[in-house]
A and B are shown apart, each in its own frame.
Chain A
Amino acid sequence: MPSENRAVPPVPVEERLFSLVLALLATESGLTKNEILSTVQGYRQRFEVHGDNASLERQFERDKDDIRELGVPLETLEAPGDPGNNQSLRYRIPRAAYELPADISFSPEEITLLNLAAMAWREGSLSRESRRALLKLRSIGADTTEPVLGYAPRIRTRDAAFGPLSDALARGLTATFLYLKPGSAAARLRTVRPLALVQHQGRWHLKAFDQGVGEPRTFLLSRISGAVKLGRQPLELAPGDYAAEALAELDALWEANVAEIEVVPGMDAAVRLSRRRGATLSTDGVISLHFTDAALLADELAGFGPEVLVRSPEHLVEAVKARLRLAVDAHSDGSGGDSDGS
């Protein structure tokens, strides 16, 4: 590094990014990388006319990614007479694709809902995205009437896999992770192309094309173990409403599965289970309950302990009993085994 670079006071990152956006919005025909690095504020201070600008070029590549991530349509144009030559590529931001369409406006009632929608993500993986979306909304000048709602709704994304998977989804990358299917002894490595992330019955699911089996599959995020690794090359994907499909599939599954559970009247299980969507309580204290995933329901029913007696289906009964036995074993002291429950 030439020493004179150190003397230049650093230009703040947002000033460099802001200047880049302004410069690329202002140009019709586009600017070459060399023009950008040598003239745009934040780059020009570090540009070496006859030197090596490799680190500055890498900075420009990162800045392009950062700007695109904000929804700024940064375009690359090949020179007509010189295709394939990186040095003659031109960059620009077409105004029509950058600006919010003029006919989009929001009523105070709509702004209220959007504020609540954004607030719901305040601790989730999409909290930064929601906050940026709100800044853009406020940019239109729409004032909220600040109606009193008294709500603090919150969407949780407690599954560590949510962040990397939503990243893979947005960027069209593959994701590789260890997945433990209920009933299998060990987690297996899966490589998938994410199609949609959906929350159903309070749980996050990933619909993805499983490259190992060559078919789409639905994964429960809480069964992903360890780190999620992302691929490098974006893959093209046939357009489709994968999220709606995934939710419809989960709903169909929910509709088809029914458990019968005897409950003790007035206890926690009776009060809570009978208020679930689609639950019916018969006069003899048996709740019929729809479910999507037997293992998850078994967890929950085992937690209710003696407040419930699962009648059917049989595999659910066995799953609940297995959990209870394991709980007794894991918490009994000594080798004598003072459990007589089973």
Chain B
Amino acid sequence: MAADRDRPAKAAAEPLAFAQDRLTFLLALVPYVLDAGRVTVAEAAAHFQVSEKQIRDAVSLIAVSGVPGETTQYQHGDLFDISWDAFDEHDEIVITHRVALDDSPRFSAREAAALIAGLQYLQALPENVDQGVYSSLMDKLARGASESPSQVAIASSDSTGSLAEVRDALARGVRLEFDYLSSRGSAERREVDPLRIDSDDENWYLRAWDHLRQAVRTFRLDRMTGVTVTDRPVDEEHGDLPLGDSLFQAGDDDLVVTVDVDPDAVALLGEFMAGVDTRRLEPVGDRVRARIRVAHLNGLTRLAAARPSAVTVVDPPEARAAVVDWASRALARYDG
């Protein structure tokens, strides 16, 4: 079923690494269980997208927690209590005695700000969501914060290219056709099974099964033209293809290029640095040296021409020559 494939990568049930986050979880879990009355460990784990062990550990801690009370001795009535039978025998959570805590906590200024800025970013999505929904949501988040949200904002971008068509094909499980200019500069008509839409700030990408190449490829939406949503269904067998979080994977047949980079500009290299430990780069003068893998020289050549004061290609000689050729040809246009 196409629907299963299209699900975005979910935040995996990663353990909560920080005590602050584990405290937040405890403060969130109690009102949820109180509200539900009775809930299984599995349901709670699915709801909070954490592991069942995390739920059990949290419940065990809540069950022995409470307030010092009048005696300051944490007497029985000063503690939470749960139905141990339900918990031990049926894996169910029932709070039978509550202390101090009833309702969900407010958002912090930064938490509200993160969600509000995220919503601003999403406003460009072609989801037929009424713009009023966004503003009402942002208003609720601001009211639900303990202090006014930090001033973090993202200008809504409207240069999302063919996002609406791509989104449509993905939702309906049909193939997509478009002319695509590869970064090598050649244009081709492609026919693909759309798998997932990724974005990276201003840039939108489609990962799709490319029928021409018989492989998963990543396409920039702003390089697609002549986009047609076909009525041919996608092949079911590509539904289970694993899609990592990284848009571009370095291949074995890639070219290894040595570059010197201004330490403040290492972030410029972005996806080029996939697989490189940016904290352990060899210092060379006031630069750092990195060995990166590229499928072809085109992207790196453009970067070196764009930011010559920050990035220099050191090796191999043909990579350096490509930069000289590219920049010289550009300069020659101004002489004509």
Taking CB as reference atom, which chain A residue is nearest B125?
A151
> Are A136 and B28 in contact (CB-based, < 8 A)?
yes
- B260 → A minimal CB distance (Å): 9
Contact (A321, B334) CB under 8 Å given A69-B20, A149-B8, A170-B109: yes
* Bound Cα distance A263, B104 (Å): 56
B75 at the interface (CB under 8 A from A): no
Quick check: B155 and A247 within 8 Å, CB to CB?
Answer: yes
B102-147 CB contacts (< 8 Å) to partner A: 102-119, 121-122, 125, 127, 129, 133-134, 137, 140, 143-147
Would you call A276 an interface residue if the criterion is a C-beta within 8 Å of the partner chain's C-beta atoms?
yes
Q: Is A53 an interface residue (CB 8 A)?
A: no
Please tell me which one of the listed residues B25, B35, B161 contacts residue A141 in the complex, with CB atoms under 8 A apart: B35
A309 to B110, CA, bound (A): 44
CB closest residue in chain B, given A296: B306
Query: Contact: B155 with A251, CB < 8 Å?
Result: yes
Which of A1-9, A79-87, A111-119 forms contacts with chain B?
Answer: A111-119
B333 touches A66 (CB 8 A): no
A18 and B326 contacting across the interface, CB-CB below 8 Å: no
Q: Is B323 an interface residue (CB 8 A)?
A: yes
| B264 interface hit (Cβ, 8 Å) | yes
Q: Which chain A residue shows the least CB distance to B146?
A: A71
Count of A residues near B, CB < 8 Å? 130
Q: How many angstroms between the C-alpha atoms of A71 and B74 in the bound complex?
A: 26
**Min CB–CB distance B264 → chain A (angstroms):** 4
Stretch at the interface among A210-218, A280-288, A331-339: A331-339
Which chain B residue shows the least CB distance to A18? Answer: B26
| Residue contact A126 to B110, C-beta cutoff 8 Å | yes
**CB-CB nearest in chain A for B206:** A150
Task: Please report which residues of chain B, range 196-210, place their CB below 8 angstroms from some CB of chain A when the two chains form the complex.
Answer: 196-203
In the complex with contacts A113-B134, A201-B202, A120-B309 CB distance below 8 A: no
Contact mask A291-323 → B, CB, 8 Å, 1/0? 000000001101111101100000001001101
Q: Is A188 an interface residue (CB 8 A)?
A: no
Contact B201 A155 (CB under 8 A): yes
Q: Pick from B112, B265, B327: contact of A324, CB below 8 A.
A: B327
Known: A13-B19, A277-B159, A341-B327. A117 touches B31 (CB 8 A): no
Number of B positions contacting A (CB below 8 A): 129
**Contact between chains at A150 and B111 (CB < 8 Å):** no
- Report yes or no: A267 in contact with B181, Cβ–Cβ below 8 A: yes
Partner of A143, one of B18, B47, B197: B47
- In the complex the two chains form, what is the Cα distance from A202 to B225 in whole Å? 22
Interface flag for A102 (CB, 8 Å):
yes
Q: Are B24 and A70 in contact (CB under 8 A)?
A: yes
A232 within 8 A of B: no
What residue in chain A is nearest B150 (Cβ atoms)? A170
Complex Cα spacing A231 to B310, Å: 30
Interface 9-mer from B87-95, B231-239, B288-296, B297-305 = B297-305
* B215 interfacial contact with A, CB 8 Å: no
Chain A residues in 8 Å Cβ range of B3:
148
Inter-chain contact B21/A148, CB cutoff 8 Å: no
Interface flag for A181 (CB, 8 Å)? no
Known: A169-B152, A268-B223, A277-B159. A302 touches B330 (CB 8 A): yes
CB pair B107–A136 under 8 Å, yes or no, is: yes
- Assess A118 versus B118: contact at CB under 8 Å? Given A106-B140, A133-B112: yes
Q: Is the CB of B105 within 8 A of A70?
A: yes
CB distance from B224 to the nearest CB of A (A): 9
A130 partner residues in chain B, CB cutoff 8 A? 111, 114-115, 118
Q: List 25 A-B contacts (CB under 8 A).
A: A19-B65, A22-B67, A25-B100, A72-B105, A100-B104, A106-B140, A114-B115, A117-B122, A122-B11, A135-B28, A139-B31, A150-B194, A153-B197, A160-B267, A170-B109, A170-B150, A198-B154, A202-B203, A267-B181, A275-B159, A321-B334, A323-B309, A327-B327, A328-B324, A329-B308
Other A-B pairs, 4, CB within 8 Å; known A40-B68, A71-B106, A327-B304 = A101-B144, A129-B113, A152-B245, A338-B324
